[in-house]
Amino acid sequence: MSGAPVVVGVGAGRGVPVSEVLELIAAARAAAGCAHRPLAALATVAAKADEPGLVGAARRLGVPLWSYPAGALAAVGVPAPSGAVAAAVGTPSVAEAAALLAAGPGGQLLAGKRKSAPRGRPARATCALAVPGSNG
């Protein structure tokens, strides 16, 4: 499925700028070789569904922002779980788990968790890329 739409799972710290989220997504898509594919949605944990940086990024990209309860994300097996994230939002993964959940049954990660790289301050966003599983 070379042209399958990509779902972007995103995690964010409070107050993350829209520009940081957009730069992270663009860098992750370029690194994964899928910058040409359409985006289906951004996905995150319900606790971050109103975060202005995520809402603004989805709006700028012209895609919906889907959110999932922490418990639903915690049930998704991921390659890079984080104890710090689990303590903060109740799930060991936001970006990878949200991407996989949004991609649907059989969804596959195209790119695992990647942190933003703002100049002169700590990263405040993460993202992961997934595509729907093939139907046979």
Grouping H, G, I as helix, E, B as strand and the rest as coil, residue 78 is coil
pTM: 0.94
Tokens of 24: 């992270």
pLDDT attached to residue 33: 95
Question: Given pLDDT bands bounded at 50, 70 and 90, which one contains residue 135?
Answer: low
Of 131, 114, 107, 51, the residue nearest 80 (C-alpha): 114
Q: How many CA atoms lie within 13 A of 41 on its CB side?
A: 18
Per-residue pLDDT, averaged over 34-60, amounts to: 97
Residue type for position 68: Y
Extents of the domains making up the chain? 12-72
- pLDDT tens for 77-105 read 999 899 988 999 999 999 999 999 999 99
